[in-house]
A and B are shown apart, each in its own frame.
Chain A
Amino acid sequence: MMDTNAALADWLDKGGRRIGQIVIAKKNDGWELRHADDAAREDLHLFTKSADARPLANLDDAGAYRALKTAPNLRHGWRLVLPDVASVRSALDAFYPAMIGVQLARERGELVPVNLRDTLARQTGMYRVTQRLTDAEAQVLIARSCCSDGGCLKTILWRISPELPVNSLPAEKFTARGGDEWPLLCHEACNILVAAARKVVKGDTKEG
């Protein structure tokens, strides 16, 4: 199996510079990560350890917890300077958990998308009721929870069922990024979506 750090080094060598909301720049003393919105800012708080990434990733600008790390609400105001690819990799694993590994699995041809109906069919306990989610409810729910504008930045690789694609989001939502941008991939609905499906089925209208 390919070494993950080597794969990331290879991508950076070829000009890879962006993942999610983060831009990566080559510096004399290594690599610098910052929020893409902060590209021109001079007043950023400097961090120098890959271990700083997890606390940075945990809270948004308002200090609220970010349960979904691919939500488009990465906090601003920091830059993280790291000496080598190994520390860039561990920082990215904190900012965008599993996203390096999932893309490499896709490159190896090992990533098998799982349709929403299969994910729901597997649920037990309190989430078993999600099997009663209708196709129409699923479309609305996915449009609300997964939309890149406010929901989640991942590219969706699954369908609702073999016959039914998600048609409630624009086509870009299903096309993985490439080139200098590392793709964020959703190969299977996350637990947050499953939990939201439970609320829909239960008729709970509260957000969350």
Chain B
Amino acid sequence: MFSKPDSTLVIVGHGSTLNPDSSGPTWEHADAIAQSGAFGEVHCAFWKEEPSLRQVLHCVTKREVYVVPNFISEGYFTQTVIPRELGLDGPQTNVAGRTVKYCAPVGSHARMTDLLLKRAAAVAPGVPPKETSLFIVGHGTGLNDNSAVAAKREVERIRALGIFGEVIAAYMEEDPLIAKWDELSTQPNVVVVPFFIADGLHSYEDIPVLLGIADSSPGAASANAAGVFAQNPYRLRGRMLFYANSIGTEAGFAEVILDQVAAFDAAAA
């Protein structure tokens, strides 16, 4: 088993000033790892919440610190914001007497593919994959455009496995648009997995509205946030539609965080 009693793990999330859902999964993965005893201590840090990236190193009591971004892709936050706020200048940096080892973000680990497959199977039990179109939905615009690249990469990997009838990357705000899911897919069953780190406005409200499974009046879907997942399957536009929680709520993320630490060590060895 993974054991680093003399090291600290810091899991970095984006966080939100609007709701607690954004940081929820990051805390859950941290709690699971802390309980496993894999590290001497485990902390979270956030861009928009506390502990902040500027505070967290003061809470660390070990000399060796692994930092794993709980982000879907490499991008502005992992390449600019997190290193800047923590004072990092490369994969390994000495910060005030601590050795900080900066790992790759969770979403770029190869095991993400397994988690997506697991989530897809769980949301549509007993549904034949060969007769299913699987959608991986990314945001797809703005600062973090690498999330679209990451979604495409996962789609290619899953497609290559030949399990599903078809596998399609779609986005909220750029082509191919998830709103056109029925035109983009051909199979009788449709599984939609949001490729996001947490449930929140996008998965509770925006995507359900785009799919046509929630009322578009503002706040209507959020008021019934969890309900949108409880009502699977949706019979809509001549198909059976299954809508999953954001991939980041998958408990297996905790293991992928540890995998990124192991990958850092392997690369440094």
Contacts and interface: CB of A to CB of B under 8 A. Distances in A.
B50 interface: yes
B36 interface: no
A125 B76 contact: yes
Nearest to B80: A124
Contacts of A100: 59
A147 to B, nearest CB: 18
A98 B17 contact: no
B35 to A, nearest CB: 10
B48 interface: yes
Interface string B69-111: 0000000100011001000000000001000000000000000
Given A54-B27, A65-B18, A122-B84, A101 B52 contact: no
B216 interface: no
A126 B77 CA distance: 12
A102 interface: yes
A167 interface: no
A104 B17 contact: no
Given A125-B76, A125-B143, A191-B47, A67 B16 contact: yes
Interface residues on B, range: 20 to 34
B96 A97 contact: no
Contacts of A65: 18-20
Which of A1, A67, A100, A111 has the most C-beta atoms of chain B within 10 angstroms of its own C-beta?
A67
Contacts of A191: 17, 47-48, 52
Contacts of A59: 20
B27 A190 contact: no
B68 to A, nearest CB: 18
Interface of A: 1-4, 51, 54, 58-59, 65, 67-70, 93, 97-98, 100-102, 104-105, 110-111, 114, 122, 124-126, 187-188, 190-192, 195, 208
